Amino acid sequence: MVQKQKTQAHGPFVVHAARLRRQIGSRWHEVRRGVIEDLACSGSAVPEGAEIEADVVLESVVGGVSVTGTVQATWTGTCRRCLEAAGDTLVVPVREHFTEGGDGEETYPLHDGEVDLEPMVRDAVLLELPQAPLCRPQCQGICPTCGVNRNEETCRCRPQRDERWAALDVLRDS
Ligand SMILES: [Zn+2]
């Protein structure tokens, strides 16, 4: 009882895997959803309160549990070209091992048969959050001369360039 005191309140990503571990090769499918605070990088962030989903298969292996599947999260940010809102959904493949004594470097920790997927989910999302997001792959950005958002208006600052594009369009259409 006393040793349980230090265990944090069980989050939505904690899987009780003691039964799974009794037989090597046993597998479980788990879908867990929950909020993880402070998932952000310089260019984007998971919105506050947005749930992240882990859809994984846990397999009992010698020395621990392997976890394979995907982590899904939404993000929002500011487009680096046009400075409008940007956002999308990330689907990140994961393939990790949980072992007794794991420290989050080579493997994640396994405590008393409990697999806490949260650190793995956190790492997976942080690695994939875009540092320099775009609102769309072909965003035209803001004209550095006149400040027009070129997604919304045709910029008149560089007619030469526009003509060249127009010529290409004619070629493409013919
Ligand atoms: Zn943009």
Pairing of strands 108-111, 114-116: antiparallel
Structure tokens at 57: 């298969």
160 pLDDT more than 80: no
Tell me how far apart the alpha carbons of residues 79 and 37 are, in angstroms, rounded to a whole number: 23
Span from the CA of 91 to the centroid of ligand 1 (angstroms): 22
Span from the CA of 168 to the centroid of ligand 1 (angstroms): 23
Structure tokens at 80: 């680096």
* Closest by CA position to 113, among listed 6, 22, 1: 22
Mean pLDDT across the stretch 28-35?
97
Span from the CA of 75 to the centroid of ligand 1 (angstroms): 15
Mean pLDDT estimate for the chain: 88
Span from the CA of 139 to the centroid of ligand 1 (angstroms): 5
Q: How far is CA 154 from CA 3, 30, 61, 147, 157, in A?
A: 67, 50, 59, 11, 9
Read off the pLDDT of residues 4-27 as tens digits, 9 standing for 90 and up. Answer: 444 455 789 999 999 999 999 999
Span from the CA of 145 to the centroid of ligand 1 (angstroms): 17
What pLDDT is attached to residue 56? 98
Read off the pLDDT of residues 49-62 as tens digits, 9 standing for 90 and up. Answer: 999 999 999 999 99
Instruction: Give strand pairing partners of 27.
Output: 59
- Give the list of residues 6+ apart from residue 148 with CB closer than 8 angstroms, or none: 142, 155, 157
Read off the pLDDT of residues 57-115 as tens digits, 9 standing for 90 and up. Answer: 999 999 999 999 999 999 999 999 999 999 999 999 999 999 998 888 889 999 888 99
What pLDDT is attached to residue 105? 83
pTM here is 0.80
